[in-house]
Structure 1
Amino acid sequence: MSESGNWGTPLVADRRYPARAASGGGGGNGKRSGGKSGGGTPPPRKPAPRKPAPRKHGLIVTMILGLFSLIWRIIWGVGWRVTAVLALIVFGASFYFYQQLPPVTDLVDARARGSVTMLDRDSQVFAWRGETFGGMIDAEHVSEHLRNAVVATEDKRYYQHFGISPRGIASAVRINLSEGRGPLEGNGGSTITQQVAKLLCLGVQYDPAQWKTEAAYEEDCRAGGVWRKIKEIPFSFAMEAKYSKAEILTIYFNRAYLGAGARGFEAAAQRYFGKSANQVNPAEAAMLAGLLKAPSRYAPTNNLKRAQDRANVIIGLMEEQDYLTAEQANDARAHPAELSEAAAKNAGGFFADWVMESGPAFLTKDTTEDVIIRTTLDQRLQRQAEEALEAVFATKVSKESEAQAAIVVMSADGAVRAMVGGRKTQGAGSFNRATQALRQTGSTFKPFAYAAAMDIGYTPADYVEDTPLTITIKGSGPWTPENYDKKFKGLITLTQALAESRNIPAVRISEAVGRDVVRQVASQFGLKSDLAAGPALALGASESTLLEMTGAYAGILNGGSAVKPYGLISLKLQGDDTELIGQEGGIGERVIQQEAAEYLTYMLTQVIERGTGTRARLGDHPVAGKTGTTNAARDAWFIGFSAHYVVGVWMGYDDNRPLKGVTGAGLPAEIWHEVMVRIHKDVPPTPLPMKVPAPKTRPQGGVSPGQMSAEQGASAGSANVPVANAPADGQFQPTDPTMPAPAQPAPVQPAPSSGDALQDALREALGG
C-alpha cells in the first residue's frame, strides 16, 4: 500500500499548508511528486505587487523643503555646539565658585558692624542698636516649624532641585508680564539657594574703599538684572555641590535680615519673642518666615496686626503643603504670635539714642563688636512718664495740635531714670527734644541768680525792690524790664519775688550779685551753652537743653554740688566680664554752700505752695519747682523735685511758633504733676533738705542787701542784650488772699541741715 501512490489521511503538516499539499500530491519529495502517481506541474508564482513610484514635487516646493532642511541642519549643528560651549562655561564658572566657597561656619555672620544690647538698672534688656546677631543656629536643630515655614514660603521644591528652578522662573516671568512689569522685575522665581547666593553677594566681599557704607554694599548685592541672574546660576550650582541642603539653609537662617536690627532667625526670635529660634511655635515661626518678603514692613514691632495677617498667609501655605494638620493650623490662627514684654514695651528709645551718642563711637554706633551696656533706665518710670504725657495731651490738648513736649526723670546724683524726647515714642533715631533742642529757659533760670545771692549771704527773708527799673546798655541804649502782670509790688522778700516769678527783682538781684557770678554759678551747675551777657541773663534769655536744666536742679536738691547727667553705668563686650567703660557722670564739685542750697530749696517750695506753680502740688509729698515761659510763649517749662526724683518738662513747637494760651504754670505744670503722681505711687512722703529762714523786719529806710534803686541799676548795664522784656510766667494773681504776708513765710518744718542728714536724704532720693 505504501507504493500505490495513494495517501491516507493528510498529515498535520499538510493541513497547515494546503496549497503545497494540493500541488505536491500529498507533500512528498520532488521525485515522488514527479512520478507515476500523477502529480501535475506546479502553477506559476504570482508576482509581488510593485510599490508606487514616489510623487515628484514641483521645483519651488522642493527648493523650499530643501531650504528648511538646510536651516534645521544649521540650527542643530550650531545649537548643540553652543549648548556644549555654554555647558562648559557654566561648569567652569561653577567649578571656580566651588573652589572659592569657604566653610559654612565662615558665612553665618553677615555683619560688618556689631550690635549694642542695652540693659536697664535691673539688668533687663530694653533696647537694641546696630545689627544684632544671636549666634549661629543649625538648620537641622532649629524648630521644625520654622524650617518648614521658610521652605513652604520661599521654595516649596527646595529639596528636589539643584539650585535653580526653571518652573519657578517661568512662573515668575508670567506673573511679572501679566502685571505689566518687565520679565525680571518683581517676582524673581529665585530658589532659596539663589537667595543665599544673593546674600553672599556672589562671593564679593565688602570693601570700604569700593562702597561708602555697608548699606550701599548690600543694596548693590540685592540689585537685579539679567547679568546678576546669569551669575547666580553657576554660583547656585557650586553651592549645591559644595554644601548639603541643610548647610545652605543654615547660611540662610543666619544671614537673612529680619527687621528691627535683627540679623538671622536667632536674633529675630530673641528680639520679637524673647526665646531661641529652636523654641518657636507654628504661629511664631510663620511670623518670622513672613518677614523675609519685606522685613521692615512686616516687623511686628512696627505693626503687629500687619505681621499677624502675613503670618496667617504662611500658615495657609504650611497647611497646603502638609507641614501642619488642619487642627494645628487652626490653633495657630486662633493664637497668633505676640511680642515679648520687652519688645512690646519698646521703652526708652530716646534714652537709648542718647546713651549711644554719649559713649565713644567705636564702641557704640560704629562698633565692630557685640557690646552690652548697662544703664540707669527704670522701665517702670519710663512707661509712667510716657503715659502721663499721653494722658495730658489726650484730655487737655486739641487733637490737631502739633505742639511737642519732652520729659526727663533723674535722681539727685544725675542718673537719668526716664526720658521722653517727643510725643512720638516709637522708633529710634528721632529728634530728641530732651537732649538736642536748645531753647530759651525763661524763668526757670531765675533760681541760679538767687543761688548766687544765697551763696554770698542773702537769705530768702531779705527784701528787694519791685519798682520800675531802667538799665542803660552800652551800644543799645536804655532797657526797661517789666513784670508779667505789668504791676509793681514795692519792697518784697526774695521768697515772694521768686514765688511770683517777678522779673524786676530777679534783674536787681543779678545786677547786685554780678552777672559774671551768676553766669559762673549757672555754668558750674551744668548749663554749658553760651549764657547771655546782658542784664536779661537773669530772665532766661540764654538757651539750654531740658537735660542740662534738669541736671542743674538736681544740683540744688543734692545740696549744692554740680551734677553731670549720665545714663551709662558700664560697657563690656558680649561674653567678656571685663568692663571697658564705667560710669562717667554723677555728683561733681560743690558749686554753692549747702545752706545756700537749702535756702533755695525752701524758696522753690513756695513757688508751688503759694506762687506760680500751684498746679504742681503733690499732696503729702513735699515738692519744689519753678515755672518758666519765654518771649511770646514760645517755650513753656516746669522743673522741680521731691526728695526722690528731679523731673523736667518742656513744651513748645519745633518751628518755634508761639504757644496759644500756654505758660509754664499751665500744661507743663500739669504734665509734671501727672508724672510725679505716677512715679511716687507707693513711695512714702520724705522731707526735702531745706532750711526755713528766720523772718526779718521790713526795712523802713535805706535798703536791704537785695535792694537796688533805679539809679544804681542804670549804671550797671553791659552791652549786647540779646532779648528784651522776657515775661514772667504763670497765672498767679497778686491779690490772691491765700498768700501770706511777705515778712511771715508760711510755716514749714525745716529738715536738719547737718551733713549726715543730707546724706540720708540723698540715699533716700537714690532709692537706698
Structure 2
Amino acid sequence: MHADRWAARLALVLALVAAPALALPDFQSVKSGWRSSDVILLDRTGQPLQRVRVDQAVRKLDWVTLPEISPAMRQALVLSEDRNFYQHSGVDWSAVAAASWGNLWNRRTRGASTLTMQLVGLLDDDLKRGTQGRSLTQKVQQGISAQWLEHSWTKAEVLEAYLNLVSFRGEIVGLDALSASLFEKSPSGLDAHESAIAVALIRAPNAAPPKVAQRACGILHDMGRKEGCDQIAVETQIALARHGNGYQQDEQLAPHFARKLLARSKLPPGVPIRTTLDANLQRFATETLRRQLTELRQRNVEDGALVVLDNRSGDILAWVGSSGDLSKAGAVDGVTSLRQAGSTLKPFLYQIALEGHWLTAASLLDDSPLDLQTASGLYAPQNYDKDFKGPVSARTALASSLNTPAVRTIEMVTPNRLRERLYALGLTSLNESGDYYGYSLALGAADVRLLDLANAYRTLADGGLQNPTRWLSADPKPQAVRLLDEKSSFIIGDILSDRTARARTFGLESALATRFWTAVKTGTSKDMRDNWAVGYSQRYTVAVWVGNASGAPMWDVSGMHGAAPVWLEVMGRLHANTPSRPPTAPVGVEMRQVRFENTVEASRREYFLPGTARDVVYAADADQRAKPQGISNPVDGSVYALDPDIPPANQRVVFRADGVGQPQWWLNGKPLGKGSALAWFPMPGRHVLELRDNRKVIEQVHFEVRGAFLKQSPPGKKAAKRQS
C-alpha cells in the first residue's frame, strides 16, 4: 500500500513535468500563426504592392522556409549552437555529460541546450530562460518537451521554426527581418561572413560590435574558413550600424497610398490586405511620371502626382504621390496636397450657367480685355496665350480655356454659387465663402486636392452620379447619389471632348488628342507653380499634377507641356485594348444646327438643354463689333502691384486702344510709342497716360504702380494684382 502511494506520487510528478510537452503546438500551427509586424498590401489581383511597418515593438517580416535559407546560414547555426543536431533526439546526452563534468571542475563548456530545447523555450512562455536562468524543474520539462517535439516534428521543421522565431538583436525577430535590416538582402543570399555574424548575435543579441565580431570569427573558423578576423570586424561594424528597415524583397509601389490608407483604416499586421490598386498600372504610371519629370528638370520641375479612378465603382486604380528620389520632398503626397487649381474648375462654372439657362453652348461671350473693380483692387484676367479672340461661343471659351469669358460667366453665376457647387462635389478645401475667392475663383485661384478634383470629374463622367472612392476590394459598393444634372453633365463632357473647339488655343493635334473618346481639361496656376491635366474616358478618370512641392514656379511649363503628356500616356495604356465610346445624349437634350453672323465661328450642330434652343442664329452684340474711341486698358484709377515672385522681364502692363486709326501713347508728358497695343515695363509711382491721334488727345487716364513691398500685405488685400 505504501509502495502504491509512492508510485502514484511519482506518476503525478512525471505528469506535471511532461504537461508542457502535451501543450506544444504542431509545426503547421506555428507556421500559420506567424504574423509579420507589417501591414501587407496586395493589388486587386493579389500581387504584392506595399509593406508598412505598424508594430514598433517588434520587427518581423515573412516566414521563410528552409530551402529559402542559404546553406552557409544553416551550417553556421548548427556548428555554433548544436553540433550533434542531426544525431540526437531532442536532448544531447553527451553534451549534458560534458556540461556536468565541466561544472564539477569549474570549466567552461559549450552548454547542453540543443536547438530543439531552445525552440521549446521559444514556443512555451513558461520555459523561456529568465534573467536567473532556468530552474531544475524547467530544465527537466524542457528536456521532455524537446524529446516530444523531435518525435512530432522533423529536423527540417525544427530548424526552420527556430530560425523564424529566434530573436537576433534589439526588436528584430526572425531571419527574414535580420537579413533585411542588417544585410539588406533575403536569407537565401547570406554568405559565410554574414551567417557567422547573424549566428553570433543569437547568444549575445545586444553585445558590442567587437564582441560580436570576435564570436563571429570563431564561428567562421569552425566552418572551415581560415580568413583573418579583420575583415569580419569591419563587416560587423557596418551591419550593426545599419540596423534599419533596409532591404525590401518586394517592390514598394504605393507608399503614399499605403500611409493614407492606414491613417483612415485600422488594418491588422501580418495579414495580406487586397486593395483596389492595379500593380501593373501603378508601375506604369510611376515610370511615366518620372520619365516626364526627368525631361522637365531643366525647367525647374521636380514633383508630380497622379491618380486613376474607375468611373462606375470609384475604385482607386493608381496612386502616385511623388516622383520619389527625383524630388527633395519625396515624402510629400501630391495626391492629397493642396495646390492652386488653375483652369480645372471652369467646367463646373459653365455647367451652372447651362443649368440656370444663363448660357447655352452656342451663346457668345466677349473675349476682350476686361477690368473689374473689386474690393481688393482692379481685377484684369489674361488668357493662357496672352491673346484675345473677340466674340466666341461658350463651347469655344471652355474648350480653349479662355479666361475673360470665364470671368464674365462667373459675374452671372456669382462666386458663391460656384463655391457651393464645388464644395458639394467634394472639394472641401474650399472652406471659405465665394466672396472670399471673388471672380478669380473662375480661373482656379483656390487650393484643391488632386484626389478631390479627380472625383469631381468622375462625377461628370458618370452623368452627375457620385459614390465614395473605394480603397479596398472588400469595401462595400455604396449606392451612387446624384450631385449634378445629367443633361448638362453630358454637354460639358461633349465640349471637353471637342478637338475643334479646343483648337483656338491648343491646336488640333496636342497632348489632349486621343484616338478614342475622352473629355479633358488642363490648368495652369499663377506664375506656373502648378499645372494639371484632368479628364475621363467612358470607363476611367485620370488626373495629373506637375509642379514643385516647395511652391517654386516652373520655367515656362504649362499644363499642356507638363501634365498633359503624362495624362495622354496613362489614358492610352488604359485603353490599349479597351474601347471608349462617346456617351449617348440623355432624353430631352436637343440637337440643332446653329450658325453665327460675321463668321464668328463656323456653323455646326449644337446640343441644348430643353427649352433653351430658341434661336439658331448667333450674332455678336453691337458693342463687340464696334467699340468707341479710347483707352480700353488701363482703366482710370487702376492700381498695379509688382510681384517679387515673377521675374521683372515677365511683368508688363499692356496699354490698349480702340477705334483710333494711328494711336500714339504718351506717358507723363513724354512720347512712349505707337500701336493699338503697347507693352510697358511697369515703373513704381503715379502715372498719367494719354492716347493721341496725331496731336489730338483722345483720352487721358491716371494709374499707379506699387512696388514689391506689397508682398507683405495680408492675403486678399493686394491691389490690382493681374491674374493669368
Q: TM-score, normalised by structure 2?
A: 0.57
In structure 2, distance between residues paired with 1:468 and 1:119: 54
Q: Which residue of structure 1 lines up, in the alignment, with residue 80 of structure 2?
A: 157
Amino acid at match of 2:548: Y
- Per the TM alignment, residue 641 of structure 1 is displaced from its structure 2 partner at its CA by 1.6
**Unaligned ranges ≥5, structure 2:** 1-16, 85-90, 96-112, 197-218, 225-247, 586-590, 592-604, 608-615, 626-630, 636-644, 647-724
Report 1:31-430 matches (<5 A): 104-105=24-25, 116-130=39-53, 143=66, 146=69, 150-160=73-83, 241=143, 243-244=145-146, 249=159, 252-256=162-166, 291=176, 293-300=178-185, 310-311=190-191, 344-358=250-264, 360-361=265-266, 364=267, 367=268, 371=271, 373-394=273-294, 396-398=295-297, 403-413=302-312, 414-424=314-324
Rate the CA distance shift 1:487–1:311 in 2: closer, same or farther, 3 A. Answer: same
Instruction: Indicate yes or no: 2:419 matched with 1:519.
Output: yes
CA contact (8 A) 2:36 2:60 kept: no
Identity within the alignment, %: 26
Amino acid at match of 2:257: F
- Per the TM alignment, residue 421 of structure 1 is displaced from its structure 2 partner at its CA by 1.1
Rate the CA distance shift 1:133–1:490 in 2: closer, same or farther, 3 A. Answer: same
Q: Which residue of structure 1 lines up, in the alignment, with residue 536 of structure 2?
A: 641
Q: Which residue of structure 1 lines up, in the alignment, with residue 557 of structure 2?
A: 662
Q: Which of 537, 540, 549 is equivalent to 2:441? A: 537
Q: Which residue of structure 2 lines up, in the alignment, with residue 610 of structure 1?
A: 503
In structure 2, distance between residues paired with 1:503 and 1:663: 15
Instruction: Indicate yes or no: 2:448 matched with 1:448.
Output: no
Task: Tell me the alpha carbon deviations over residues 7-32 of structure 1, each in whole angstroms, 9 at most, x when there is no partner.
Answer: xxxxxxxxxxxxxxxxxxxxxxxxxx
Secondary structure (helix, strand or coil) at the match of 1:627 reads strand
CA contact (8 A) 1:642 1:688 kept: no
Number of aligned residues: 494
In structure 2, distance between residues paired with 1:611 and 1:667: 20
Q: Which residue of structure 2 lines up, in the alignment, with residue 479 of structure 1?
A: 379
Amino acid at match of 1:382: Q
Rate the CA distance shift 1:583–1:242 in 2: closer, same or farther, 3 A. Answer: farther
Instruction: Indicate yes or no: 2:461 matched with 1:557.
Output: yes
Amino acid at match of 2:539: H
In structure 1, distance between residues paired with 2:126 and 2:299: 52
In structure 1, distance between residues paired with 2:305 and 2:76: 44
In structure 2, distance between residues paired with 1:656 and 1:102: 66
In structure 1, distance between residues paired with 2:300 and 2:126: 52
RMSD: 5.1
In structure 1, distance between residues paired with 2:476 and 2:172: 27
CA contact (8 A) 2:511 2:568 kept: yes
Rate the CA distance shift 1:136–1:237 in 2: closer, same or farther, 3 A. Answer: farther
In structure 2, distance between residues paired with 1:376 and 1:651: 24
Secondary structure (helix, strand or coil) at the match of 1:405 reads strand
Q: Which of 693, 698, 701 is equivalent to 2:606? A: 693
Amino acid at match of 1:589: V
Rate the CA distance shift 1:159–1:547 in 2: closer, same or farther, 3 A. Answer: same
Q: Which residue of structure 1 lines up, in the alignment, with residue 602 of structure 2?
A: none
Task: Tell me the alpha carbon deviations over residues 674-709 of structure 1, each in whole angstroms, 9 at most, x when there is no partner.
Answer: 2122222122352245686256512344899xxxxx
User: Which segment is superposed worse, 402-411 or 380-389?
Assistant: 380-389
* Higher Cα Rg, which structure: 1
Q: Which residue of structure 2 lines up, in the alignment, with residue 623 of structure 1?
A: 518
CA contact (8 A) 1:526 1:562 kept: no
Secondary structure (helix, strand or coil) at the match of 2:532 reads strand
Q: Which of 547, 568, 573 is equivalent to 2:451? A: 547
Rate the CA distance shift 1:480–1:144 in 2: closer, same or farther, 3 A. Answer: closer
Secondary structure (helix, strand or coil) at the match of 1:383 reads helix
Q: Which of 505, 515, 530 is equivalent to 2:405? A: 505
Q: Which residue of structure 2 lines up, in the alignment, with residue 582 of structure 1?
A: 476
User: Which segment is superposed worse, 149-158 or 103-112?
Assistant: 103-112
Q: Which residue of structure 1 lines up, in the alignment, with residue 364 of structure 2?
A: 463
Rate the CA distance shift 1:468–1:251 in 2: closer, same or farther, 3 A. Answer: same
Secondary structure (helix, strand or coil) at the match of 1:582 reads coil
CA contact (8 A) 1:114 1:371 kept: no
- Per the TM alignment, residue 99 of structure 1 is displaced from its structure 2 partner at its CA by 11
Q: Which residue of structure 2 lines up, in the alignment, with residue 593 of structure 1?
A: 485
- Per the TM alignment, residue 520 of structure 1 is displaced from its structure 2 partner at its CA by 2.0
Rate the CA distance shift 1:321–1:545 in 2: closer, same or farther, 3 A. Answer: same
In structure 1, distance between residues paired with 2:70 and 2:389: 79
Q: Which residue of structure 2 lines up, in the alignment, with residue 672 of structure 1?
A: 567
Higher fraction of strand = 2
Amino acid at match of 2:476: G
CA contact (8 A) 1:568 1:583 kept: no
CA contact (8 A) 1:127 1:346 kept: yes
In structure 2, distance between residues paired with 1:633 and 1:620: 29
Greater relative contact order (Cα < 8 A, sep 6+): 1
CA contact (8 A) 1:257 1:295 kept: no
Task: Tell me the alpha carbon deviations over residues 688-742 of structure 1, each in whole angstroms, 9 at most, x when there is no partner.
Answer: 45686256512344899xxxxx99xx9xxxxxxxxx99xxxxxxxxxxxxxxxxx
Secondary structure (helix, strand or coil) at the match of 2:520 reads strand
- Per the TM alignment, residue 408 of structure 1 is displaced from its structure 2 partner at its CA by 0.8
- Per the TM alignment, residue 157 of structure 1 is displaced from its structure 2 partner at its CA by 3.3
Q: TM-score, normalised by structure 1?
A: 0.54
Q: Which residue of structure 2 lines up, in the alignment, with residue 433 of structure 1?
A: 333
- Per the TM alignment, residue 374 of structure 1 is displaced from its structure 2 partner at its CA by 3.6
Rate the CA distance shift 1:393–1:699 in 2: closer, same or farther, 3 A. Answer: closer
In structure 1, distance between residues paired with 2:570 and 2:430: 30
Amino acid at match of 1:521: R
Amino acid at match of 2:307: V
**Unaligned ranges ≥5, structure 1:** 1-96, 166-189, 206-220, 222-226, 265-288, 323-341, 571-580, 705-709, 715-723, 726-768
CA contact (8 A) 1:117 1:371 kept: yes
In structure 2, distance between residues paired with 1:292 and 1:98: 34
Rate the CA distance shift 1:453–1:159 in 2: closer, same or farther, 3 A. Answer: same
Task: Tell me the alpha carbon deviations over residues 359-397 of structure 1, each in whole angstroms, 9 at most, x when there is no partner.
Answer: x32xx1xx47x6554432223322221232233234x23
CA contact (8 A) 1:374 1:569 kept: yes
- Per the TM alignment, residue 401 of structure 1 is displaced from its structure 2 partner at its CA by 6.2
Rate the CA distance shift 1:104–1:437 in 2: closer, same or farther, 3 A. Answer: farther
